[in-house]
Structure 1
Amino acid sequence: MSRLTVRGIYSTALVKLLQDEGFTIVNPTRSQAERFGITLRGEADAELIDSSADRSCVEVRGLREVVESVLAVLQKSFNDLIILRSELSEDLMRARVGFPNEAKLRLDELRSTVAYTVPYHHYCRAGGEGLSSMVSIAEDLVEKGVVPAEEMSRSFREQVCKISPRMGSLVKIIHVKPNGRRLVLGPGKTVWRGEGKARIMRRIAGFGVYDGLGVKKSPGDYAVTEVSKLQPWIKTSYYSISGELKGRYYNISTPISLYPDHIHYFDLEVDIVVKPNSEPEVIDADALEKAVQENRISEDLKKKALRIAEEVVSKQP
């Protein structure tokens, strides 16, 4: 069977998954050798490593047929998987894969069959070095017998549910398109916070037209973005310098990651726009269909995105 090397914050869960699917893991890290009894070394047919561009992504690269086999397993295992980009060069292939939060929770389950795993392990690992260190410390305390696993899991879950930016802190919004394009909005200022919730205000510079709304953009305008942890949409309201509402924009996405200094999600293309005194309008459904046709997202994820869009239209939260 094909030989793989696996590295990065998702490695334990991915080794478990790929071994179960018949792949041979080579060149193990120390923890992989201890957890799985892997000793084989040598040239790999492909490797999976963390993406340097985004901690919610991994890169799969190597022989084309092996990379394609790995991608097929990942798509089968994670309904919300997003294949952001793939490049071919003769017999070689490189692909970047995004793990939205439902996939991260499934990865948590896989990892927990091998070692003690705190709730939201991969959610926190993807959130930056601070949260990642918190995970390592918590799991180490359990593995050393200092804290019972059940007690740590309860406490850790409570802490993660409370994570949100501090009042007045600056926050970036990281918006990843299915084609791999990564947009960073802001930073904006946190003007309200709750447990797992926040409102971020951004000042608008320059002229133009608000995408989707077709409303003129003017210097002094501002946008207020409302987010809730793991909510599958993000709402942005645009105002003039005098506070007059110019329109609202609901972006349908994978469940949102809300961290102390940034917000992260994978965009699912379809959006809802609401102009003042107008009915809500669903836009860009064709772009969502295109993402399915290009094999970037699954048919199930498309249907889910459209269902969420319908709910947002009916409720306009």
Structure 2
Amino acid sequence: MSVRVRGIYATALTRLLTDAGVDVVQASGPIAARFDDEFAVARAGATVETTDDGQGVGVSGDRETVQRVLGELRGVGRDTLAWADPLPEGAVYAGEVTETLGSGAVVDCGDGEGFLPYSNSDDRVETGDRVQVQVVDGAAPWTDGRPVLDGTVAVRGELLTLSRGGTNTATATGPAMLDVVAADPREGWGVSWEAASDDAGFDALAAALEAANERAAAIDDALGAAEPVGEGEPRRQADGGRTTWVWFGRESRFALDGTRRQVTTTMRGHHRVKAGSRSASAAVDYVEALCDEPGSDAETDFPFAVTARQFGPQTGGSLTLGHGKPDGRLITLGRADVQSVDPDGTVTVEREMSAGGSYDALGVPKEAGDVAETKLKEGRWWYPTVYRDSEGATKGTYVNVCTPVEIFPDTARYVDLHVDVVKHADGTVERVDDDELDAAVAAGDVPEELAEQARSVAAAVASALS
């Protein structure tokens, strides 16, 4: 079991996985400098990489290795959630082009849609064309992106890439590499050596090539038994490994702070701040570099007031609500005006509502001039929204129960836990959607421990409102 780890969670996850007996390989320079252990430059059975938005990680690779890694990551915190990608990296599909865009084509793969950049296809593609494609880069379910596809079928890795129908090429290591590596590429496949191979030993390169050959043989067998691309519905022709997306909630990020603190200087809220913005991430690095002793800032509270003042949100600005769903989707609940930002982590926002329909669970109509006032507090497991009409009269209060709220510069982020509490204009308090939470638990989207916390929070909120 070996993994390659990259991104803002790399130090914490390297410590977590190595303590669990998982070999971390191809460590970056900063990671290698923080640990006493030496990290081999060898093939990784899986890659753990931070998502572009910093909200979590993607874990992709051999099924057994991914499963082992997930077993460790799920234990980080009760608000760590994971979703399997229906289009795993490495899977090969017989797809159909459904739309052409400026830079590429949308392809129906049967298990979902992918995006084929024109630069990843040797031939011109048009709507209705049937194409053979491979998933090369997945997309987290909470983003709007599609997995990226490539028309070349290959076994891709950090040390080497084995391409079906390709020729043997070289990088800086030189064309004589195959003369000194005790393995040959599978017949019908060509090997190209990636930059990381320059630092790997010959035995490690031979092992990586042999593993790639095994994967190539499995692909050849699957494609040999598959229907031609132009026949039948879009479908998977050859399995990849496994790709799973892991989202870290606020509690989990703070837990990872503690793990990272075992290795190097780590301010409280390290991962919470880094997940917010690149400029904030750079500021964290600077602050920690000034600390003389590891953990010297560990006992201070998360510096919400300073973070908000420096990076946002700020009064007079705006904020969106990143309403995550337990199945991995993200719904953005519009942009609201920031009315106030308090040092205790409370941000009050207002939205003017449009007429039409009614408010969920309250059963009162949405009318022109209605205003929704939402109070979000960093770290709290719920937030209330009060709806008022144009005259200021209260139409009802809706309290959303969720994973602990995180308030980033541009958005407040959490995962909705279904169960909610409403207070009607006449003072009646009602708890709703317990059945949806039960269904999410049964579906495996919400762990039972997290569901129990949601029920406990809902009971406390209902009691306080009664």
How far 1:23 moved relative to its partner? 0.9
What is the TM-score when the length of structure 1 is the normalising length?
A: 0.90
Paired amino acid for 1:166: Q
Asked if residue 187 in structure 1 is aligned to residue 350 in structure 2, the reply is no
Matched residues in 2 for 1:111 and 1:25: separation?
A: 15
TM-superposed CA distance for 1:46, in Å, is 1.0
**Number of the residue aligned with 1:45:** 45
CA 1:159/1:105 → structure 2, altered by over 3 Å: closer, same or farther?
closer
Shift of 1:301: 0.9
Secondary structure, in 3 states, of the residue corresponding to 1:208?
Answer: coil
Of 225-234 and 178-187, deviating more is: 178-187
**After superposition, what is the alpha-carbon deviation per residue over 1:9-50, rounded to whole angstroms, capped at 9, x for unaligned?**
111101110111111111111111112234312321111111
Residue 44 of structure 2 aligns to a residue whose secondary structure is coil
Higher helix share: 1
1:233-252 matched pairs, under 5 angstroms: 233-252=382-401
- In the alignment, does 2:46 pair up with 1:28? no
Give the number of the structure whose alpha-carbon radius of gyration is greater. Answer: 2
Question: How far off is 1:136 after superposition?
Answer: 0.8
Seen in structure 2, the aligned counterparts of structure 1 residues 158 and 99 have a Cα distance that, compared at 3 Å, is closer
Superposed CA deviations along residues 268-293 of structure 1, whole A, max 9, x for unmatched, are 12111222114222222222222222
Equivalent pair of 2:403/2:416 in contact (CA under 8 Å): yes
CA RMSD of aligned residues (A): 2.1
**Separation in 2, partners of 1:21, 1:153:** 24
- The CA deviation string for residues 143-166 of structure 1, in whole angstroms up to 9 with x for no partner, is xx4xx6676557x74733554432
1:8 and 2:157 are equivalent in the alignment:
no
Which ranges in structure 2 are unaligned for 5 or more consecutive residues? Answer: 92-238
User: Which residue type is aligned with residue 192 of structure 1?
Assistant: S
> What's the CA shift string for 1:207-258, capped at 9, x where partnerless?
2222232321123222110011111101111122222222111111111112
| 1:262 paired residue among 381, 406, 411 | 411
Give, in whole Å, the separation in 1 of the partners of 2:447 and 2:19.
23
SS of the aligned residue for 1:180 comes to coil
Identity %, equivalent residues: 31
Instruction: Report if aligned partners of 1:57, 1:98 keep a CA contact under 8 Å in 2.
Output: yes
- Give the 4+ runs in structure 1 shifted more than 4 A: 148-154, 161-164
Partner of 1:213: 362
In the alignment, the residues of structure 2 paired with residue 267 and residue 59 of structure 1 have an alpha-carbon distance, to the nearest angstrom, of: 21
Aligned match of 1:139: 288
Pick from 160, 164, 169 the counterpart of residue 304 of structure 2: 160
Alignment correspondent of 1:228: 377
* 2:210 aligned with 1:62: no
Distance 1:299 1:105 in 2: 21
Q: TM-score, normalised by structure 2?
A: 0.63
